[in-house]
Structure 1
Amino acid sequence: MRPLLFLLLCLFAPLAAADEFAFPGAFSSRDITTNGATIHVRVGGKGPAVVLLHGYGETGDMWIPLAKDLVRDHTVVIPDLRGLGLSSKPPAGFDKKTQAGDVAGVMDALGISRADLVAHDIGNMVAFSFAAQFPQRVSTLTLIDAPIPGVGPWEEVLKNPLLWHFRFGGPDMERLVAGRERIYLDRFWNEFSANPARFSEASRQHYAALYALPGAMHSGFAQFAAFDQDAVDNKAALEKGQLPMPVFAIGGEKSFGPMMATVMRFAATNVKQGIVPDTGHWIMEENPTATVAMVRDFLDAQ
């Protein structure tokens, strides 16, 4: 971790329980400069490569339970998306086609030609774009509990009042949430959980501190503001054909549920459906045991 970022984290919030956000000793961290951004990446293990992409309201730290399992027999790569976590906060490039280029650059820097992709939330959108642009580099694609701009019932999804934040952003909104990042993020952690208590206080403090870093909330709003362009890009990609790799579409039982597979059947030829029981959107906080087992079983079966 860069010294300035560590200092800012210490100033913004109390330290969370150290073990809750500690990757196994097999992991190391590095910053990879690529595609106009510096991407903070954790890398560990040996074997077939798997790249884990996080979503909004979290960082790559969300994947620790899955990383502990996969590192036994995989090379596990966990970036923070551009603008979020400990990655740099560039002024632009938040469309998912550009961020797919970030992933390609990270893989190139690590000497990885092909990988399984596992993603959640906005990470789904980056992973989808990567798979559409570089299908030869994707062994399997696992997408968890979030729609894909421009794919399937996207226009109907946008009408859901719970998703008002898709259109929330701009300088005035940034002023409204400045210094109130925890209040804003609590809304997501509470309303999108089957049981908000499962999103622990330590996790809330940890992620609120990261989203309070200079430029982080601006970057988060920019992720959503890019959805219109993402929809255009995804529709254009699908005009060239559906995704050929095996796709595992997972929904939280009390969140996206079977809709995840419904969406992906518009975009891929080989889709398996999975539902994480007794969970809302925050699958790694609400039911990590079932989520890890589900992903592990899918990867092992390929």
Structure 2
Amino acid sequence: MISKEQIAADYQQIQDEICAALELTDGQAKFEEEKWEREGGGGGRTRIIQNGNIFEKGGVNFSAVHGHLPDTMKRALQVDSDDFFATGVSIVIHPNHPMVPIIHMNIRYFEMPSSMSGDKPPVRWFGGGIDLTPHYVIDGDAKFFHTSLKNVCDSYYHDFYHRFKLWADDYFFIKHRQETRGIGGVFYDRLTANDELSWENIFDFSKALGRSFIPTYTELVNRNRNKSFTEDEQLWQYQRRSRYTEFNLVYDAGTKFGLETNGRIESILMSLPPTAKWVYNYQATPGSEEEKTLSLLKKGINWA
């Protein structure tokens, strides 16, 4: 069986690979690293890139933490053990160009020993996903993005893409706005071994999804980075960033987990954009690209 130490080591390697490739893509900015330790146990490497040619702000973070779960998290996870171990890589990139999309990725592993009473087996699972938040939805880019994810999913299990795409549609939904955060992607949680999938299969899938980030995102960046844009289009970018912020602060499970387990606040909130605007009662001009984008922020669109 794969050890938690091996999982953490492989995730660290993926963090290294992604950071090196993003620096090459940007061509100017370099990641700054801050190593940190969690008071309750474990720590991580926060890496931030800022003020680059194309990346205004981004983070590629690794963590491997352990300790005792607070009661609120035990109830949320429906477990009765105290001890936990969690490791993962989390990424959010905010470009400075309204035609280049925001992207988020997370791959993670969680385990707990057997219950305190000893009558339940250990708990362990993988989770993760990648989703895209374009400021302007470009049909060809959306199809490319979802097809790339489908290819990774299909190479491991026949219904991964279908299941995880629906899961992403439901998860990345801003209920109080009645709109999706972007065009979705794939999302999964509590994925465990069964008769058809071994722990090795699931771990390999987790790593393959993580390593699909660079070829997929760099293609989208390079397709759009040299397009011209107007001041109004940048204002729209800031407006869309405000919706991203609302989701992360109100609904995002990773943000809640980090706060509830006394995580490092700067690393938890690195997903927030450097600039966002809340325009009161914004109404898109009929027939505009902004209106088109709003019409596509809904569940159930078959992009692939």
What is the TM-score with the length of structure 2 in the denominator? Answer: 0.28
Relative to its length, the structure with more strand (as a share) is 2
What is the TM-score with the length of structure 1 in the denominator? Answer: 0.28
Relative to its length, the structure with more helix (as a share) is 1
